């Protein structure tokens, strides 16, 4: 009985300390403040286990079709480049100011994830990080096309990436889709998006080397 009472007092003291810490404002929430290694590790475990569990029943389609890779590149360049950069290209100021940092997606730590995991991350985003959910504004096929393109990143260098940007008639830095940021009315958005998806052609030679 005494032990239980002591444990209870200790527990209550702990709760009071936690509450005091929370309301004291001592914790520095600034993004420029590096995260402690312990919190980083805890978050990484939580994130990785959650991604693995939630994506376990997803069946990935075949992702080798060069046309799929090509449309994934367009999505990537307009929506991911600014935060994640690309082979030989640093992210924008936005990406560089984030904490946790957006990883380079050709990195082995990312590429070891399964296709279903990558799809799940892109579709649902990662809460409490800068990683947005793209599911609410994209078709399933578009999301898979991005995964298809991510798989090609490790074999690309800056020249190969730039060649794709040029062949697609896009600008060097990441441009956002009109439908993401909602410029113009519905008709303009659709027209801009369709133009981006269909009027430019990317050279298949680059993509076709290693289907």
CB of 6 to ligand HEC, least distance (A): 40
**Taking the CB of residue 125, how many other CB atoms lie within 10 A of it?**
15
How would you classify residue 103: left for phi > 0, otherwise alpha for psi between -120 and 50, otherwise beta?
Answer: beta
Q: Which residues contact 148 (CB under 8 A, 6 or more apart)?
A: 63, 64, 65, 68, 69, 72
Q: Is 175 exposed, middle or buried (0-12, 13-18, 19+ CB in 10 A)?
A: middle
CB of 10 to ligand HEC, least distance (A): 34
Q: Which of 83/206 has CB closer to ligand HEC?
A: 83
Q: Which of 40/194 has CB closer to ligand HEC?
A: 40
CB of 159 to ligand HEC, least distance (A): 22
Q: Is 79 exposed, middle or buried (0-12, 13-18, 19+ CB in 10 A)?
A: buried
CB of 81 to ligand HEC, least distance (A): 8
Q: Which of 84/152 has CB closer to ligand HEC?
A: 84
Place of tokens 């069946």: 59
CB of 120 to ligand HEC, least distance (A): 9
Q: Which DSSP helix (H) or strand (E) runs through 61?
A: none
Q: Which of 118/206 has CB closer to ligand HEC?
A: 118
Q: Which of 66/142 has CB closer to ligand HEC?
A: 142
CB of 137 to ligand HEC, least distance (A): 10
Q: List residues near ligand HEC by CB under 6 A.
A: 47, 75, 79-80, 82-84, 95, 98, 100, 102-103, 105, 110, 113, 118, 121-122, 126, 129-132, 134, 146
Q: Which of 6/141 has CB closer to ligand HEC?
A: 141
CA proximity to 180, closest of 132, 113, 119: 132
Query: How far is Cα 96 from Cα 169, in angstroms, rounded to an integer?
Result: 26
What is the chain's percent helix, strand, coil content, to nearest 5? 60, 0, 40
């Amino acid at each position: 009985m005494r032990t239980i009472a002591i444990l209870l007092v200790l527990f209550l003291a702990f709760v009071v300390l936690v509450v005091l810490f929370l309301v004291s404002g001592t914790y520095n929430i600034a993004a420029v403040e590096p995260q402690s290694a312990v919190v980083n590790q805890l978050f990484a475990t939580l994130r990785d286990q959650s991604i693995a569990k939630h994506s376990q029943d997803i069946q990935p389609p075949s992702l080798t079709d060069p046309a799929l890779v090509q449309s994934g590149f367009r999505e990537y360049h307009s929506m991911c480049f600014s935060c994640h950069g690309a082979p030989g290209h640093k992210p924008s100021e936005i990406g560089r100011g984030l904490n946790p940092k957006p990883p380079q997606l050709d990195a082995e730590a990312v590429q070891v994830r399964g296709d279903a995991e990558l799809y799940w991350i892109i579709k649902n985003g990662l809460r409490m990080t800068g990683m947005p959910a793209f599911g609410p504004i994209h078709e399933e096929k578009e999301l898979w096309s991005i995964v298809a393109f991510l798989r090609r990143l490790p074999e690309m260098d800056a020249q190969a990436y730039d060649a794709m940007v040029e062949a697609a008639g896009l600008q060097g830095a990441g441009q956002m889709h009109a439908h993401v940021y909602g410029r113009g009315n519905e008709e303009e958005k659709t027209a801009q998006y369709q133009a981006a998806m269909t009027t430019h052609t990317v050279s298949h030679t680059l993509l076709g080397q290693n289907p």
